[in-house]
Structure 1
Amino acid sequence: MKQTLFCIFLFMCNMCCQAVRPQNDRIYINGVEFNLLTRPIEMDAQLTKALQSYLPWEQDGWTDSDNEYTTYWTIENEQIVLDSIYYHLAEGSKTGTYRLKGYEKIFRPYSHQRRIVASWVTDTLRAGRGALLAYSHIGGAKAYSEERTIAVDKGQIKNIRQWNYEKRPGRNFQEIFSQDSIDYWFALGKYPELAGKHVGFHAKLKLNSNQFAEVDTVMMYVIEGGSIPEARCRAIAQMVKRTIESIYPLEVITAGNHVYQATQDWLFNPKYTNRPLEPIYSVCDTMPSFPGGIGEMMRFIAYHLHYPAIESDWQGRVVLQCVVEKDGSLACINIRKSLFYPFDAEAIKVVRKFPKFHPAIHHGQPVRCEYNIPINFRIE
């Protein structure tokens, strides 16, 4: 049953990818053109159906999915007014953009003094211009560097808010959840029952302006290779949840403390049916070590650690757990004991500067091994 639900979810995501729109509607605000990221006509099912029936490709039986239309709007007298409609054909010699004529009769119930007011709209519309900061292939969602949110009640403008977005660089989940990166980020080698299995995870999370993720839930599915006890699935899902919340910095698009598309759903599916699961040990014959020993590691931390620039006298300890790889590099960084976002971030930044460790040795061979790193924050 779980495998069936997981496959249905993947199918729906694939269908969404095929439904991306190439065109944005347009709206003029104080004479400035914006991409209208919400389609007013599609807020009324009858209008949508009537317009679709009126468009040339519907009349002629064309089915090319690249055919599209664009509506142009202005704000006049605190109302949203429809100016014109253009349609775009992708039909051989007829390819091009044309102004739609006679559409006014479709909107006759909303016409007043030869103006079509979007009085069927009671919602908040988004409009954007400037640099395109984000584009989602699932659903075609976009974010621009300059945006307006337009609160509308029966076609009347209630208020317009301005947002200036910026992209803060960092890791993105598309990269993190790829098959090539999963073992670097997630300590799945701690769970030998994953060997020979193909599993899936569904994570519901929310990005914050500190460039961390707050995870609501992580669900685990076994897709192929036999079952895993429910208790072990919960333990693995909990590790994945904790790891996602430990990844810093994440790429976010923000306007002040507001994060664009903060709430997200992600699927990823580690597959060990055609590649080995590299085990991770917690106890080895020779444990991994920092070059020069513990004392040298503490001196390295003290030299590179910066107390966060916040108005606070917070003190305490952050404990990070990581995996020392066979070559001595660090992976799977995980916050085992958190203090506060700025301190957690600073601890992660310092550990990422570490030189390569001497790897763990087990039965005469270098192996992957867990390692805990305590980092203390004290005000002298």
Structure 2
Amino acid sequence: MKKTLFCIFAVMFVLSSFATPQESNIIFIDGKAWSLFTTEPISEDSALYSKMMASLPKDRTILTSNWNGYISFWSIKKDCLLLDSIQMRFYDKEKKQLRTECLDKSKMRKLFKGYTKNKGAMAKWFTGTLRMARGERIREVYLGSVYEYEILLTVEKGRVTKRNDYQNKVFDGYSFDHNDLLKNQDKDDLRTLLIPHLEKYPELLHAKHIKFSIKNVTMDASGHITNCSVTAKVDYGDNSEKEHQGIAEEMKQNIMAVHPWKIVYWNGQYVAYALENYIIPYKIDN
């Protein structure tokens, strides 16, 4: 076994990597518009949702970025979650462009009979947590985008019972992000910090590749990894992979020894930046 080559840092497996991002619904708080990123509140009541969908115009435009064919507009007034309007798009054949219309107020009153409050409908059917965001997108993570400003609202039967405001930040450090690797290519970067001692494992003498997977990463505020799990799958050139606990544990210790890792302060928690669910492939030059 002559040398171990750090071949490539594989990208993170992102859920719905090839899916078109869906348009967000909009909620107004204190006069400012926020993008609503949690489940659309109407859909939480299946009967109400089915009734509404059956009542929407059939000729509305359905886009890959909006499979429901509508955007709902909400507001928080006197701690009440109110549905203000439902907006749809229609294709104007003469002008060959899309136009926007709101669902007729009379249909709104009929659909949400029993929930009417002021000029909207109070979402008494909804209990849960609403996540909303605005500002710069500071990180795309496997659980969704992270934005500069976010609010989490706890709602019980349409009434807000708790509100948490967050200003999210990114703190610099080591990461597997492609741009960071390019930026640090002339420095003592991850390629030199994470090389395992394969000579300690004679059974790896004829191995061709090792694939390390990193999961369950927890961080502290200083960029230290407090815990993680690493698995190692070894390919001996026979198109099969076998797990190796010894080399996996060594890689885990190497990863945890690196400091500081790049982190995101996200809604009160410190999250690893471009580390969770990453795969590091090694090619072994025998």
- Same fold, TM exceeding 0.5? yes
Q: 1:237 to 1:188 in 2, by over 3 A?
A: same
- Displacement after TM superposition at 1:84 (Å): 1.4
1:121 partner SS: coil
Matches within 5 A, 1:96-135: 97-101=100-104, 102-112=107-117, 115-135=120-140
- Displacement after TM superposition at 1:173 (Å): 3.5
Q: 1:267 to 1:255 in 2, by over 3 A?
A: closer
* Per-residue deviation, residues 164-211 of structure 1 (Å, max 9, x unmatched): 222212233344999x99754532462645732363524221232111
Q: Which residue of 2 aligns with 1:4?
A: none
Q: Which residue of 1 aligns with 2:195?
A: 187
1:150 partner SS: strand
Superposed CA RMSD in Å reads 3.9
Q: Which residue of 1 aligns with 2:4?
A: none
Q: Which residue of 2 aligns with 1:65?
A: 64
- Displacement after TM superposition at 1:156 (Å): 0.8
Output the CA distance in 2 between the equivalents of 1:118 and 1:260: 33
Q: Which residue of 2 aligns with 1:74?
A: 75
- Displacement after TM superposition at 1:219 (Å): 2.7
Q: 1:255 to 1:61 in 2, by over 3 A?
A: closer
The answer for unaligned runs of 5 or more in structure 1 is 1-12, 280-380
Question: Any conservation in 2 of the 1:198–1:271 contact (CA below 8 Å)?
Answer: yes
Question: Higher strand proportion, which one?
Answer: 2
Question: Any conservation in 2 of the 1:193–1:228 contact (CA below 8 Å)?
Answer: no
Question: Any conservation in 2 of the 1:198–1:225 contact (CA below 8 Å)?
Answer: no
Q: Which residue of 2 aligns with 1:148?
A: 151
Query: What letter is aligned with 1:126?
Result: R
1:172 partner SS: coil
Which residue of 225, 232, 237 corresponds with 1:220? 232
Q: Which residue of 1 aligns with 2:247?
A: 236
Which residue of 236, 256, 259 corresponds with 1:245? 256
4+ runs of 1 displaced by more than 6 Å?
A: 89-92, 261-264
The answer for unaligned runs of 5 or more in structure 2 is 1-12
- Displacement after TM superposition at 1:75 (Å): 1.0
Q: 1:84 to 1:261 in 2, by over 3 A?
A: farther
Output the CA distance in 2 between the equivalents of 1:176 and 1:193: 34
Output the CA distance in 2 between the equivalents of 1:265 and 1:169: 16
- Displacement after TM superposition at 1:147 (Å): 2.3
1:173 partner SS: coil
The answer to whether residue 212 in structure 2 is matched with residue 172 in structure 1 is: no
Output the CA distance in 2 between the equivalents of 1:91 and 1:220: 57
* Per-residue deviation, residues 297-333 of structure 1 (Å, max 9, x unmatched): xxxxxxxxxxxxxxxxxxxxxxxxxxxxxxxxxxxxx
Question: Any conservation in 2 of the 1:176–1:182 contact (CA below 8 Å)?
Answer: no
Which residue of 137, 152, 161 corresponds with 1:158? 161
The answer to whether residue 208 in structure 2 is matched with residue 196 in structure 1 is: yes
Query: What letter is aligned with 1:197?
Result: H
Output the CA distance in 2 between the equivalents of 1:131 and 1:252: 17
Output the CA distance in 1 between the equivalents of 2:254 and 2:269: 24
Q: Which moved more, 1:88-97 or 1:214-223?
A: 88-97
- Displacement after TM superposition at 1:70 (Å): 2.5
- Displacement after TM superposition at 1:80 (Å): 0.5
Output the CA distance in 2 between the equivalents of 1:177 and 1:225: 32
Percent identity, please.
21
Q: Which residue of 1 aligns with 2:270?
A: 259
Which one has more relative contact order, counting CA pairs under 8 Å at least 6 apart? Answer: 2
- Displacement after TM superposition at 1:83 (Å): 0.9
Which of 1 and 2 has greater Rg?
1
